[in-house]
Amino acid sequence: MNPPQSQSAMQMTDAVAPTVFTDPAHLSSYDHPASAWNRLALVTPQPDPFCATTAWQLSWREAADPERPVVVRECTDGLICFARHTLGSAIVLGPVERLWLFGCNVLGPAGVDLLEQLLRDPAIEAAGLGRRIVISALDPRGSLLAGIRARLSPYAAFTRFKQDVQCAASLQDGLDEFLSRRSANHRKKLRQAIRRAQAAGIGFERYAPGSADEAAGVFARMLAVERRSWKGITRQGMDGPMTRTFYGAMLRRLAMAREGRVMFATHEGRDIGYIFGGMAGAIYRGQQFSFDNNWRDMSIGNVLQYEQIAWLCEEGALRYDMGPMTGPFMEYKEHWTELRMPIEAWLLT
C-alpha cells in the first residue's frame, strides 16, 4: 500500500508553543506492545484496530513526520493522540498518521472524556490551535461516534471529512469454512495455482521475527523481492525512501512481541515472493505482498494468500483485515473477503 496523493492528507507547518505537546521522551514510553496506547487500541470498537496501534501510527511518524508535535493524553481507561497539521489555511489537531486516516485516535471507554477536555482546554486556544480536531477511523454506525456526537454536539460542529469502505474475511471457523465463502470459480483457480506451484517445486517459509535484528534480516529479503516485482520495476513498490522506512519500522515494532507475520515463496533456495502483515490481538491486518516478475504467470500472489490464511487459521486468528476496497489494484480483494466495514473521519470545529 503505497502513499497516494490525497486531498485529505494534512500538511506540515512550523512548530508552536511546546507546552501543549507531549515531550518526545514521554512519547517513546508508549512505543511497546503492552503500552496503554496499544492496550486501548485493541479494545476500542473501530474498523481497523491494527492501524490504531503504535506499530502503524509511530512507524508513520518515524518515516514521514519525525519532528511533528504530538499531543497524547491518557487516563486509566482512555487515551487520545493527535498531531499538529494544517488543513487549507487552518491549523488543526488530527491523526498522527495523516494520509490514509486508518487508525482511530480516540481510544478506550474514557477517550471521549479526554476529547472533551482537550476541546475545552484554554491552552489549545492559547497555542493558536482553536477547536479544530480531526477524529479518524470511526464506524459511522458505531457506539464511539454516537458517544462523541452526544457529548460534544452542544458546542462543536461536525463535518464528515473522509469516508471509505474497508474489507475483511472471517477466519473464526477455520480454513475450510473460509474457502466455502469464496466463489466456485475462485476456488477452482486457486486449486489449479496450488497444483502448479507444487509441480514447480515452490516452497513456503514462515517467519514471525522476535528481535530487531531478525526483523531487519527478514525485511531485507522482502525488499530484494520487491525490487524484482512489477511494483519495484515501475518504482511503485515499498522500497521508496518513505515507504521503506515505514514498513521496516513497522516490522521492527511488531517484532517486540512476535506480532509480525511474513511468508516467503521460494524456489531452489531463492525468494520469489513474500506476503506481510501483523497481528492486533486475534485480528491479522495485511500490509504488502509482491513476487518476482519472472514468475508473474504462476499466480504466486494467490498462493501466498492461501498459505498465509492457512497459517493464520492454524494459530486461531479470527479475522483477516485487508484494508480499503477503493484505489488502484484493489479489485482482487473482492475475491478474498466477505465483510464490508464503512470507515469515516470527522472534523470537529
pLDDT tens string, the chain, 349 residues long: the values are 444 334 455 553 444 444 689 999 999 999 999 999 999 999 999 999 999 999 999 999 999 999 999 999 999 999 999 999 988 888 899 999 999 999 999 999 999 999 999 998 988 888 878 789 999 999 999 999 999 999 999 989 999 999 999 999 999 999 999 999 999 999 999 999 999 999 999 999 999 999 999 999 999 999 999 999 999 999 888 999 999 999 999 999 999 999 999 999 999 999 999 999 999 999 999 999 999 999 999 999 999 999 999 999 999 999 999 999 988 889 999 999 999 999 999 999 9
- HEC readout, 276-309: EEEEECCEEEEEEEEECHHHHHHCHHHHHHHHHH
pLDDT at residue number 10: 59
Fold assignment, 172-317: Aminopeptidase (3.40.630)
Would you list the domain boundaries of the chain? 18-164+344-348, 172-317
Same fold, 18-164+344-348 and 172-317: yes
pLDDT at residue number 37: 98
- Cα dihedral value 251, 256, 262, 268, nearest 10: 100
pLDDT at residue number 40: 98
- Alpha-carbon distances, residue 304 vs 203, 205, 220, 268, 299 (angstroms): 10, 10, 19, 17, 9
The dotted CATH code for 18-164+344-348 is 3.40.630
Structural contact between residues 274 and 262, judged by C-beta atoms closer than 8 angstroms? yes
